[in-house]
Structure 1
Amino acid sequence: MAWFFVGIVIIPTTVFADNDPRPGSQAALNILVHSYRRTIIELVEFQKKNKGIPDFYPYASCQEQILATIILGLDNIDNNAANQLVLDLSGVYFGEATGPVFSCLVQRKGRKLMKYLKKGKYLTSWCIKELPAEVCREEKVALSFLLEDIERESYLECDLPIYPPPASKRLSPP
């Protein structure tokens, strides 16, 4: 006579935790969003330290490019960490050059951002905590811009092409 034991073995998930997450996994995307957040903090700190340098303009242009690239990256990530970062960035003023790209991102993520707004969190709390005060918007201004962009999402397409046209539709050189 043989006895068989059928049972459930509970193993903590930390046993299977991946220190080097697979590309595209939620863990990898969360790490990417965290690095975006860190990059933004370092860019703003760099700008603040070097604002008085006479030939700072080329670095400012580079900063705008980096911010635009981060914003484009956030458009490709659909998870809570990315949506929360978009919401946090709505409390930050980066300048006129990056504004349209960010506005387009908010239009694309509008419906998802509304659920975060309903939680009642302040839009400027991250900015005030992590960044210099001069780049933080007032709460009312941040909310106004965010709601305006979300509302625009409901009836207009983003007026800024975030992605280049497919190779087949690009104009060929003469």
Structure 2
Amino acid sequence: MKNAAYFFILSIFILLSACTGSSESNGNNQSDSNQRCAQCGMPTEEFQAWRGKIVGTAATKHFCSPRCLFINSQAHSLAPTDSVFVTDYYGQTLIDGRNAYYVIGSDVIGPMGHDLVPLASQQAAEEFMQEHKGQQILRFGEVDAETIKGLGK
């Protein structure tokens, strides 16, 4: 009888553990740890200050940096319904990547080398440019393959 009670409790624990899957309803879901970058394979948890993700209807792709996110989104065209999230440099929270401001050419180095630095507002982007010798502020739709290629130059 005692063994049956332990077995029952263990079974309940296993079932509850299996049922704690995540629902990707917004960009600030805390279950994003232990993910690998969909572009380069690096663990995103190690680069929380840089990570991003694309939430689609079929799947969520995690990225270690804005650079990897843009490379992947350009290679696999985003759907209009896909949600894009990047980590705001100052706030360290996930923000809407389509509405973010991206500074390029700064002295801040990301996990993949020179990167786009996402910021939540134009004012924050302008302040960042002054503090970190940024060269240009871009919006999501302005980032193209040439922008990515030129990051290290």
What is the TM-score normalised by the length of structure 1? 0.25
Larger RCO, structure (CA 8 Å, separation 6 or more): 1
Rg: which structure is higher?
A: 1
Larger fraction in strand: 2
Q: How high is the TM-score relative to the length of structure 2?
A: 0.27
Higher fraction of helix? 1
